[in-house]
């Protein structure tokens, strides 16, 4: 059986409202595997033709399995730098695994930079278990799929691993400040030059520390926006380091979505 998440391990889990409001159903569960927190989710697309799901920048990469007879398969979706409308088809069921930025599956051997804003077919051979993709999608329930994936990870040579220590330390600082930390302050706290941090970030995360920090800040602000009961943005701006409401609106638009107020209305009307 899978182990529930240890909330003390991570401080950042991005939100993706589009999967909840534009599907027939959406399930998710945070699970601890090899002491790493993974987010599993499952959804079934709507019956309405051409109903796209809006996916937002979150710094993560996903493995998404198509669980539909005749079209079994899986793709790796790289992180987005702007929101993207994705058509997953009509009445199609999918099972997904969201990997936080600081994690990698060692045997995947892919470059995060190369899959930004892109998807590639998952190489089934990175796990030695025969027909493992087909076995996952043929499981009858969300929990069964999670348990099977957990089992093959625990019983095979693949490993969900942390990134380099430098990257982990940088990401922790970025998480703890809601993305407000500058590259100059990050350099001082970590003890490496700004240039070296930028190079290592590009190698492992695929983006600059500044861009990644902006994504974390955007996600934190988005979570607060969704959970608040009124349209007072003062606390959102204060907690996440926005100079004023214009700055907040500009960042939302930079990531390709509506202004905070219009976006919130679109969620409530869905």
Each domain of the chain, given as residue ranges in start order, spans 17-161, 165-269
pLDDT at residue 9, as a whole number? 43
User: Which of the following CATH numbers is that of domain 165-269: 3.40.640.10, 3.30.70.1140, 1.10.10.10, 1.10.10.60?
Assistant: 1.10.10.60
From its phi and psi, is residue 230 left (phi > 0), alpha (psi between -120 and 50) or beta?
Answer: beta
Q: What is the CATH number of domain 17-161?
A: 2.60.120
Query: How far is Cα 41 from Cα 20, in angstroms, rounded to an integer?
Result: 11
Write down the pLDDT at residue 7.
47
- The percent helix, strand, coil of the chain (3-state, each to 5) is 40, 20, 40
pLDDT value for 158? 54
17-161 and 165-269 in the same fold: no
Query: Mean pLDDT per 10-residue run, the chain (270 residues)?
Result: 45 88 94 86 90 92 90 90 93 94 78 89 72 89 94 68 85 94 95 95 93 96 86 88 92 87 81
pLDDT at site 86 = 93
- Residue 80 sits at φ, ψ, to 5 deg, of -100, 145
Residues 6+ apart with CB under 8 A from 32: 2, 3, 4, 5, 6, 9, 38
């Amino acid at each position: 059986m899978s182990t529930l998440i240890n909330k003390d391990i991570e401080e950042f889990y991005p939100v993706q409202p589009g999967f909840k409001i534009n599907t027939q159903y959406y399930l998710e569960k945070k699970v601890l595997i090899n002491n790493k927190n993974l987010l599993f989710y499952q959804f079934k697309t709507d019956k309405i033709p051409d109903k796209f799901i809006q996916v937002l920048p979150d710094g993560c990469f996903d493995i998404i399995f198509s669980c539909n007879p005749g079209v079994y398969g899986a793709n790796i979706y790289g992180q987005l730098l702007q929101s993207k409308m994705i058509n997953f088809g009509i009445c199609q069921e999918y099972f997904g695994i969201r990997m936080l930025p600081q994690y990698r599956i060692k045997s995947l051997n892919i470059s995060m930079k190369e899959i930004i804003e892109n998807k590639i077919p998952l190489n089934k051979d990175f796990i030695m278990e025969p027909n493992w993709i087909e076995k996952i999608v043929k499981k009858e329930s969300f929990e069964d799929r999670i348990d099977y994936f957990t089992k093959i990870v625990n019983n095979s040579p693949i490993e969900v691993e942390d990134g380099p220590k430098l990257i982990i330390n940088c990401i922790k600082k970025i998480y703890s400040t809601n993305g407000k930390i500058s590259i100059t302050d990050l350099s001082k706290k970590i003890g490496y030059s700004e240039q070296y941090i930028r190079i290592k970030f590009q190698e492992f995360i695929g983006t600059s520390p500044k861009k990644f920090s902006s994504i974390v800040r955007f996600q934190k602000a988005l979570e607060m926006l969704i959970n608040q009961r009124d349209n007072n943005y003062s606390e959102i701006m204060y907690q996440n380091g926005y100079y004023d409401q214009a700055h907040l609106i500009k960042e939302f638009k930079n990531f390709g979505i509506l202004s905070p107020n219009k976006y919130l209305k679109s969620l409530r009307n869905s």
